Amino acid sequence: MGPKNWIVGKLTTWLTKDRDFTGTPLCDFERISYEIKPCDVLLIEGRSRVSDVIKNITQSPWTHSALYIGRIHEIDDPALRKRVEDNYGGDPSDQLILEALLGEGTIINNLSKYNDDHVRICRPHGISRNDAKKVCAYAINYIGCGYDVRQLLDLARFMFPYAFLPRRWRSSLFQHNAGLQTRTVCSSLIASAYSSVHFPIMPVIHRTEDGHMKLFKRNERLYTPRDFDYSPYFDIIKYPYLGFEDLAIYRKLPWDKHGRICNDDEDCFLPEEPSNISFEEKEITEVKKQQSSTKESPNTKKTLHQSQAAYYPVSNLAIDLLNQEINKKEEE
């Protein structure tokens, strides 16, 4: 390793190192992991130094985007499945994302990598199942490509309001090279994948003189993570760490405080309040009343036994146990 590569490696490590997470998480990552589907875009609010730079450039908290491709067994194409297996050494049942990272290039990672980060799902509205597969296949073909640092720097220069040089001068953003690119960044890769099936993200719309509208694809190199959040063609799915479901908001509905029950709009009634006396207490009270009205005799227990059997749908064993309890209390 030469001195130049050593310096670049150290600088990349310093820029991409995440700060320790502190505080309460903003999203329920377990719920997000359950709800996410293949072809969804995952937006991440990063905690590294390069993420801080991207926040300042884009004026958005979303600094990174990844494409969810599902579990390995969910990939139908054998060639694509084999390529993912060759580039991921974890559990085959893991939920996988494809992302382009500074210093690592385009790689496969476990979704759980971002369980401590603020994330949200951007789901393409109405995309067909076949096109969703094509989007994932397009991105999978880029596994192993490098990260385009030049594009990131040119994007910063393009978005910065003031510049000494013209924004288009010697900029990689406006170079249109045919064929598969050898380097890319996270948002551009995902935008290109959606563009391959003509799914709009932030298209340029022109209205012709006769009133018809025509859509033009936007330059994929100009996309940033925030564009998936702003796009009207993506549904935003987010699950807060403490949501309304946890607060049982339905308990705040204006229910009738008197507890009236209605058969229909016109037929309502107030049910009788149930007695707080338990069934066993009722039995003991009834037996004591019968004992006080009859003299103690050998036939008394039999009479009580028969009367209880006649008025209470309980077993003979329960009645015998009840009589035993009464006798014990009287002896005490």
Quick one: which H or E segment has residue 311? helix 300-311
pTM of this prediction exceeds 0.75: no
At 160 the pLDDT is 52
CATH of the domain at 199: 3.90.1720.10
Do residues 186 and 283 share a domain? no
Which two structure tokens, joined as six digits, stand for 159? 């978005």
* Res. 320: pLDDT tops 70: no
Span 152-202, pLDDT tens digits: 555 555 545 545 445 444 444 444 444 445 445 688 899 999 999 999 999
Asked if residue 263 belongs to a domain, the reply is no
At 221 the pLDDT is 80
Cβ-count burial 236-271 (b if 16+ within 10 Å, e if not): eebbeeeeeeeeeeeeeeeeeeeeeeeeeeeeeeee
Do residues 85 and 179 share a domain? yes
- Cα 287–Cα 291–Cα 296 angle in degrees, nearest 5: 140
Do residues 242 and 285 share a domain? no
Asked if residue 253 belongs to a domain, the reply is no
Asked if residue 173 belongs to a domain, the reply is yes
Rounded CA separation 56/11 (Å): 20
Q: 308 lies in which domain range?
A: 279-331
Do residues 243 and 295 share a domain? no
At 52 the pLDDT is 81
Span 1-59, pLDDT tens digits: 677 677 767 766 777 787 887 777 788 899 999 999 999 999 999 888 878 877 877 78
Asked if residue 236 belongs to a domain, the reply is yes
Do residues 92 and 201 share a domain? yes
Q: Which of 318, 251, 253 is nearest to 283 (CA)?
A: 318
Span 247-276, pLDDT tens digits: 666 677 788 888 888 888 888 888 877 655
Asked if residue 108 belongs to a domain, the reply is yes
Do residues 212 and 326 share a domain? no
Residue 112 is given by DSSP the state G
Do residues 37 and 110 share a domain? yes
Question: How many domains are there within the chain?
Answer: 2
Do residues 236 and 309 share a domain? no
